[in-house]
Structure formats: C-alpha cells, structure tokens
Amino acid sequence: MSLAGLQQMKREGRKIVAVVAWDYQIAQLADRAGVDLVSVGDSVGVNLWGQQEGEITLEEMLVVCKAVRRGVKRALVSCDLPPPQGTEAAVRLVREGGADMVKLNGTAEAVRAIVRAGLPVFAEFHGGAAVAELVVQAKRLEEAGASLLDFRHSGPEAGPAVVRAVSIPVLGGLGGGPWLDGRLRMVHAAIGYAAYNVDATTESYANVARITLDAMTAYAEDVRAGRHLKGQRPV
C-alpha cells in the first residue's frame, strides 16, 4: 500500500480500512486481515498502560512504533507525534520508528513545517464547528501538505462536505461515519479487548475480554487441581 494507492481508492470510491494498533502480534493480524493503514496511536498510554492523558513520551512512542512496524508488511504505518510536537521528533518516528508518516493534531503551520522536512503527514481535526468553517479548516490542512485527514466527530453533514472539498482521503476516527472515505478504529475496541468489555454492552465484533477471562479462570482451576494444562503435553 502507498499514499498514492489511498488517493486512488478515494477517486474510485473504495473505502479505506484503517486501525489503531500498539503491538507486534495485533499488527500482524491486522496486516493479514488486509487493512490499508495501521495507525500507532498515542492512546496506548491511556488504554494499554494505564497512564494519564498526555503522559506518553517520544521514546515510548518509538518503542511502540518499532513493534508495529515489525508486524506490518503490506499496510502503511502512521505514528502519532506526542507533545511537544516538532520536526525533529517527527523525523525520529520515521527514521528510527519505521513509520511511513506521522500523525498530529495541530495547525496548518505545524503540518507545513513537517512536510518541509520531507515527511508525509496524517492531520487530525475535530468537528463541532459550522460546516463551512470545517471545510475551510480541511482545505488549509490540505494546502499545508497533509496527505490524509482524520476528521473526528464529523457528522453526516460536515463529513460529506469535507470529503467533496479536498482531494486527499478523509478518514473518520472517533465519531466517524460511512460518509467519509474510510474509517479508523482501535483494534482493541473492535475486538472487545479491554477489561470493561467483559460486562459492557458497547458494540464490538468480538468479546476478547470475556474469552480471556474465561481462559485464565480455567487455567487457574487446572493449576490448583494439579491437572495437566491445555495445550501443554505431559513430559
């Protein structure tokens, strides 16, 4: 997959499949499933490591980005640029982390600075304003050199308007919808991985948390009963 390939998909009206992943094993599975883009989100700090919002560092993001890069062979890899954002940090995510592009929630000026350094940018912006204002914002990001847009909380009115207004693909992260060029969702949300999914009623394609809890409970019971473990041959 390439950025040119994603742009071709937009022109042809084919939806782009993007996921957020944070580790080697999940990255392999996502790539095998045929997703087009794997985004290494700084949300790993909150959702996987129990950090507070904004605690994650560039060095931590590099570790995660490298792991995902090792697992992805076909899809494009994007990596979030943690604060404080800057060109030097973006360069490290590409050169050391192996990312194909960097993702940031910033101004057109921030996008332009990173593009001038020769790095593709996946620019994030949020709905909530008037449709005309959001269209202007999207155009500014495109003019600054962004290769992709993540339009969060787009809505069925602003979403299509932005898609028509720019020539680059517009994906939808949180609150995105089918009116965009594609969707971006955390793998862990899609498969029901988090501990709260055990009893949650939120929509997902599986309930890995429940499966994992049941498996670990069965494992503990076997150990305490002195039985041989499933999948482990007696020696």
Q: Which of 5-19, 141-155, 171-185 has the lowest mean pLDDT?
A: 171-185
Looking at the fold, whether 176 and 74 belong to one and the same domain comes out as yes
Q: Provide the domain count of the chain.
A: 2
Claim to verify: residue 125 and residue 224 sit in the same structural domain? no
Write the CATH number for 59: 3.20.20.60
Same domain, 50 and 66: yes
Average pLDDT over residues 28-45: 96
Same structural domain, 120 and 184: yes
pLDDT band at 47 (very low <50, low <70, confident <90, very high): confident
For residues 215 and 178, membership in a common domain is answered with no
Q: Which residues of 23-40 are buried (b: 16+ CB within 10 A; e: fewer)?
A: bbebbbebbeeebbbbbb
Structural domain that includes position 134: 3-190
Identify whether residues 208 and 104 lie together within a single domain: no
- Specify whether 40 is located in the same domain as 145: yes
Residues 181 and 216 in one domain: no
Residues 185-216 pLDDT 10s: 999 999 999 888 888 767 789 999 999 999 99
Same domain, 56 and 119: yes
Residue 103 pLDDT grade (very low, low, confident, very high; cuts 50, 70, 90): very high
Same domain, 103 and 211: no
Predicted confidence at residue 15, as pLDDT, reads: 97
